[in-house]
Amino acid sequence: MRRKAGVGAIQKQKLEQEKYKDKGTEIQENQFEQMTKQMETFRVNLEEFATKHKNEIKKNARFRRQFTEMCASIGVDPLASNKGFWSVLGIGDFYYELAVQIVEVCMATNYKNGGLISLDELRTRLIQARGRRKEHQDITNEDLLAAAKKLKIFGSGFSIVSIGRGKHLVQSVPGELTMDHTAVLQQTSLSGNAYVSKSILYNDLHWEPDRAQKALDHMVKEGLAWLDKQGDDETLYWFPSLFTACIVSKE
């Protein structure tokens, strides 16, 4: 018959377990300390890199994106900091200036698109507004998204609407779009056209007639969609925020 472990053996086993636990904690603390030192070294090197390439970061969009990605990897947001070292770079100022210009374009086109504008059209109009100087041409959609996020401080008046396949709209009017409204915009974008109809929503989204009509009526009421009753078959709902670049260029 197997003998049970005595009190001394149990205590010895308990001490060994505590010893292993203490050792594990010590190893974790050492690893954390080493990681902290590495991150601090990386931060210092990043600051030196940013100082050296300040102008390149501000003028070269690709370089700027890579730089912000490096910052994000160590939890640094130079766009959110207007004090200390990062304020010297003026990167935040670049995006704040861009945000102001986004507001100006949104306000100027609100009468036409009801407060929804595609990121591509926004970029085209901004480049035109900023002039033909070389340093003003290098604006990417990523820059616009970063700048537009700053506008959230104004509340629900400004927001980003994702419509799939990496495409976005900037909403510049108060009020939240429901999931149905967003689905209509996504379906319109995916179709490759700037319009949608009730039959398209019936067939592609499998919506009931009342649901489709309610969503479309609301978007017409808010100025987000235009009615086209000239078709032989049915009424079309055009979305000026999704007009193609060739239509915009003819204005």
**Mapping DSSP to helix (H, G, I), strand (E, B) and coil, where does residue 173 land?**
coil
From residue 44, alpha-carbon distances to 6, 48, 51, 76, 188 in Å are 57, 6, 11, 12, 48
User: Which residues sit opposite 226 in a β-bridge?
Assistant: 238
Please tell me whether residue 238 adopts helix, strand or coil conformation. strand
Integer Cα distance of 112 and 117 in angstroms: 10
Phi, psi of 139 (to 5 degrees): -120, 130
Work out the end-to-end distance of the chain between its first and last CA atoms, rounded to an integer number of angstroms: 97
- d(Cα 46, Cα 42) in Å, to the nearest integer? 6
Instruction: Look up residue 67 and give its amino acid.
Output: F
Catalogue the E-assigned strands of 111-247. Answer: 116-118, 159-164, 167-171, 195-196, 226-228, 236-238
Q: How many CB atoms lie within 10 A of CB 189?
A: 20
Beta bridge partners of 117: 170
The pTM is what? 0.61
**pLDDT tens, residue order, the chain (251 aa):** 455 556 666 666 777 666 666 666 767 777 777 777 776 776 677 677 777 777 777 677 777 777 777 776 766 666 555 554 445 455 666 777 788 888 888 888 888 888 888 988 888 888 887 765 444 457 888 888 888 877 776 665 688 888 887 888 888 877 778 889 989 998 888 877 888 899 889 989 899 989 999 999 999 988 889 988 886 688 899 998 887 533 433 44
